[in-house]
Amino acid sequence: MSTDTVNPDSARARLVKHLTGAGDLRTPAIRHAFSAVPRHLFVPGTPLADAYADKILVTKRDVDGTALSSASQPSIVAHMLEQAQPAPGARVLEIGAGTGYNAALLRELVGERGHITTIDVFTDVADDARRNLTAAGYDDVDVLTGDGAAGAPDTAPFDLIVVTAGAWDVPAAWWAQLAPGGRIVVPLRWRGLTRSLALDHQPAGSGGPAHLVSRSMYLCGFIPMSGTSDGGRTVALADNVTLLADQDQPITTDALTGVLDTPRSETWSGVVIPGDQSTEDIWLRMSITEPGTCRIHADGSAIDSGRVTPATRINPALADGDSIAYLASRRVADGPPSRWELGAIGHGPRGAQLADRIAATARDWDRDRDAQPRITLYPADTPDEQIPAGLVIDKRDSRMVFSW
C-alpha cells in the first residue's frame, strides 16, 4: 500500500503542491496555513484521499437531497483567503462554520493575537465544527449558532468578514460590524451569477458616504445562505424551464406564460470560442449593461427535446415583458475540432431584438475578454445624488454600482 494513502502529512503536502502549482496558493503565509491544518480531522470518517482531494465534500443534506453544508473545495478556499489576506492580530468573523476547517486556517493566519468567531445557522453543524476544531487544537475559536446575516454583535467590530456561503446581499449587520477600513470577502449573487468579491471599506469623507469597493473578483459557486430571506425569485417558463430573477426586476410568470411556445429567432455573433472556454464573463458583462439579465435553468429533458437549447444548462438570459432571449452556441464545422460560435435564441414579440443585444454583448466581450468592472456598494439608504454614475442594482440593505 502506498504510504501517501495512509500518511496525512504526505497527502497534505501533495495537496499544497497541487494548489501552489495551479496558482491557487500564492502567499507564503497562506501556503503555510494549508500545510499546518490537518483537513482530515475536519471531515472525520472520510477516506484520506478524499479529505485531501481538491473537491467539495457535502456534509449535510436536506430531506430531498439538497446540499445544506459542506467542506468547500480547497482551491476555492485558497482563492478566498488570498483575496482576504488575513493579517496577524486581526479580528475575523466567518459566516458559515461548515466543518471548521476554514476557521482553523484563519486562526493560523491571525495568530495568537488575533481572534476568530465563526457562526452557523445549523446547531448540529456548529457542534461538529466546534468538536473538529478542538480535536485539531484550535479550541480558542468561538463557534456560535445563529443566522449569519445578523453577524456577531457581541464580539464586533471585525477587521475582516469572510462569508463561506452564497449571499444575495451585504446585510445591514455586516455593514455595522465591519471596522472602518476593514474588508469583506463574500460570494455575492446578482442577476443569477456569483462572484467572490473582496470589498474594502472606505470611510465617509469629502462629503461622500462610507462605501465598499471591490479590489478583486473570483468566479465561484457556493451553497446559498440558510436562515435568512433571499432576494431571488423563480419564474416558471415551463414545467422544466425556469428563470431566476432579482427582486428589483419586473420579470413575472404571468407575462412570460407560453413564451417558449412562440416562434424562435436566432442571432449569431461571429464570436468563436474553444469548447472549454467559459462564457461566464459574457454573463458578467450582460449583468452590467442589460437590466433584464437573469438566469435560465433547463432540466436535461427540456434540452434533449429541443424545447430550449442554451449554451449551458445554467445560462444567462435577457427578459423584457413578454419576451426573452438566452445565450446559445453552435458547433463550427470548419477548422480545429471543438470550436463553438456564440449567439442567442429569442422568443416573444421582442425576442429577436433581445437576441441581437446578447450577440452584441458577446462581440463587446470578444474585443476585450479580460475587462473587469469596478463594483462599489453603498448602504441602502444612500440617496441617488451620492451614488456615482453607473448601473445601479438595488438590494435590501445595499446599492450595488457597476462601472467600467
Catalytic residues: 72
- Report helix, strand and coil shares of the chain as percent, to nearest 5: 30, 35, 35
Distance of CA 301 to the CA centre of its chain: 27
Helices in 234-377 by DSSP H: which ranges? 253-256, 280-289, 300-304, 351-367
φ, ψ for residue 74, nearest 5 deg:
-55, -35
Phi, psi of 117 (to 5 degrees): -120, 130
φ, ψ of residue 388 to 5 degrees: the values are -70, 170
User: Any bridge partners for residue 211, and if so which?
Assistant: 202
Neighbouring residues of 263: CB distance < 8 A, sequence distance ≥ 6 = 347
Beta bridge partners of 339: 274
Which run of H or of E encompasses 95? strand 91-95
Q: Which three cell numbers stand for residue 390?
A: 453607473
